[in-house]
Amino acid sequence: MKTFALHPKMLTLTGVFYPTGYAFIMFPEGAQAEQAGRELEENGFDSEAVMLLEPDTILREIGRVDGESDVILPSVGTEGATVQKYVTLARQGQHALMVHAPSEKETERVMTVVRKQPFSYAQKYHMLAMEDLE
């Protein structure tokens, strides 16, 4: 797994987190996210395609939260609501995996592995739509 780094291509024009081609999965415990990440690599995903995010990283980099302040985001629809969900879960101590899975087949491969762990929330970012993953 590689360290998460926020790149401009992961943001909309208004600066909201929207990493097209990635699945973003939240886990109640860090160990669950780490285990799923290891299993993804064991199942053929390149270590560069799998990123582990700790709660502080989610709050700071994705939610742009400073301490206990509210999220400072433009008022947008689904993208902003999804980031708010990530912030809420991160404040509960939840960790995330972000996996590059641009195709439907790769997304299903990700979820086949992830479903072995009790994940709490998962989204797939398509070019023009977001998809809840179960």
92-102: per-residue pLDDT in tens? 999 999 999 99
- Please, are residues 91 and 55 in contact by the beta-carbon 8 Å criterion? yes
55-73: per-residue pLDDT in tens? 999 999 999 876 555 545 4
Residue 133's pLDDT is what?
Answer: 79
DSSP label of 17:
B
3-state SS, residue 48: helix
Q: Based on the number of CB atoms within 10 Å of its own CB, is 36 exposed (0-12), middle (13-18) or buried (19 or more)?
A: buried
Domains, the chain, in order of start with CATH, read 18-132 (3.30.70)
